[in-house]
Amino acid sequence: MPPRHVAVLHGPNLNLLGTREPAVYGTVTLAEIDRGLVERAKARGATVESFQSNLEGELVQRIQEVAGRAQAIVINPAAYTHTSVAIRDALSAVGLPAVEVHLSNLHRREPFRRRSLTAPACIGTIAGFGARSYYLALTAALDLLEDT
């Protein structure tokens, strides 16, 4: 089996994890999540690259850039989940399987957070398990790649 590479994209304000609303998002930092992803990928014979941006255009650009080197995407669009047609279109355009991930359960939050514009461009969504949501999303992406 060829090496598998997954791009992990973190949207706006996720750089503040660990201190931002810990009752909602937990106390795990983004660096800790990224280290956990690297460890889990390595244990499965895969690699990950992580990227965080507060800027929509940078996330769109990175989605386009990883198309040539990644076999799947794990993405937490954060607030752009509910607003970004551009991210949704980029995910559709590159044609890579993508898993949307959220730390909190969007359906237990404010009504405006319950609609995802990006989810239809993804194969699935994992939400509500804190940092573990990322690890479950990586597992799903790698399982999918193994099945194809």
- The residues that are catalytic are 25, 102
The first and second tokens of residue 145, run together, are 């790649």
* Rounded Cα gap, residues 65 and 73, in angstroms: 12
Cβ neighbour number for residue 119 with a 10 Å cutoff: 19
Helix (H, G, I), strand (E, B) or coil at 82: helix
> Which residues are registered as beta bridge partners of 98?
73
